[in-house]
Amino acid sequence: MIAPEVLITIAKLSTLSVQGVARMAPIPGGMDRYFKRGAADGVRIEMLGDHSLSADLYIVIRGDANVRLVSEQVQAEVVRAMLEMVSMDAQTVNVHIEEIEYGEQ
């Protein structure tokens, strides 16, 4: 069994590597927000079996980025990274655009 922190880190770094992603956003609402701070910010992973998972990614994108294209690239990158690094099938990768960042912040 792979530690959840490892899966979260892979998903987070894969997401941040996509051009147009400014940063991860906090997971909105729920008790998760109070108990899973720090490393889990922006990523929720659910195990669907021994070798498959579902991921919800909460991101902030840059204002000059194409929302659809960035979302598709994030999905593809996370699926690829999970398969190559830990041999896990990311069956579902939901990308939640929480904010669009314009200008210098």
Q: What is the pLDDT of residues 1-56, one digit of tens each?
A: 789 899 999 999 999 999 999 999 998 875 554 554 455 689 999 999 889 999 99
Q: Please say whether the dihedral angle defined by the alpha carbons of residues 59, 44, 94 and 15, taken in this order, is positive or negative.
A: positive
Backbone angles phi, psi at 104, to 5 degrees: -80, 125
Q: Within 10 Å of residue 5's Cβ, how many Cβ atoms?
A: 11
Can you identify the CATH homologous superfamily of domain 4-101?
Cation efflux protein, cytoplasmic domain (3.30.70.1350)
* Residue bearing tokens 């987070």: 12
Q: Give the pTM.
A: 0.88
What residues pair up with 90 in beta bridges, in sequence order? 53
Residues 2 and 88 sit within 8 Å (Cβ to Cβ): yes
